[in-house]
Structure 1
Amino acid sequence: MITVLFFAGIREEVGMDQLQVEKQDITVSQLKEYLQTEYQLSSLQQVMVAVNESFVTEDETLKDRDTVAFIPPVSGG
């Protein structure tokens, strides 16, 4: 099982701050595709992705018990 964490606008779009996904040995890209389809997410294209608190690319393979965080761009002023 993979724990997925959402922040800021993505959290609001999903309606929760985390969820458990019963998948493993998939890439970050495949996880994003699954979440976009399952939860109708439109904002995953421009996010940074961290797995177990380290930034990764979309080619990273996810394993059981990984924690994936989708971090949207931030702006400030």
Structure 2
Amino acid sequence: MITVLFFGKLAEIAGAKTELPHVASTDELLQQLRTSFPLLAAEKFIVAVDKKTITENTLLTDNCTVALLPPFSGG
């Protein structure tokens, strides 16, 4: 099972948390999420797997936690 956490505006769209049966990669996961929550397709976000931000497709294993984070603005 993969746990997906949503933050900021993304949580307003998809809820704070969802769990999905095992998916092989972050690309597959994002495709499933965009199908389930079409409004996510219009949003920009950072993906983190087990608390590490990623910039490319990453393999997932059972019990991974994926976080979708809205872009940060400095201050």
Q: Same fold (TM over 0.5)?
A: yes
Displaced runs of 4 or more, over 4 A: none
Note the aligned Cα RMSD (angstroms): 1.9
Give the equivalent residue in structure 2 for 1:22.
21
Greater shift, 55-64 or 35-44, is seen at 35-44
Residues 1-77 of structure 1: pairs in structure 2 closer than 5 A? 1-14=1-14, 16-24=15-23, 26-43=24-41, 46-75=44-73
Q: 1:69 to 1:32 in 2, by over 3 A?
A: same
Partners of 2:3 and 2:73 lie apart in 1 by 26
SS in 2 for 1:12: helix
**Residues 16-68 of structure 1: CA deviation (Å, up to 9, x unaligned):** 200100123x2211111110001223357521111111111331011100000
Q: CA deviation at 1:76?
A: 5.9
Aligned AA (1:23): H
SS in 2 for 1:4: strand
Structure 2 gaps, min length 5: none
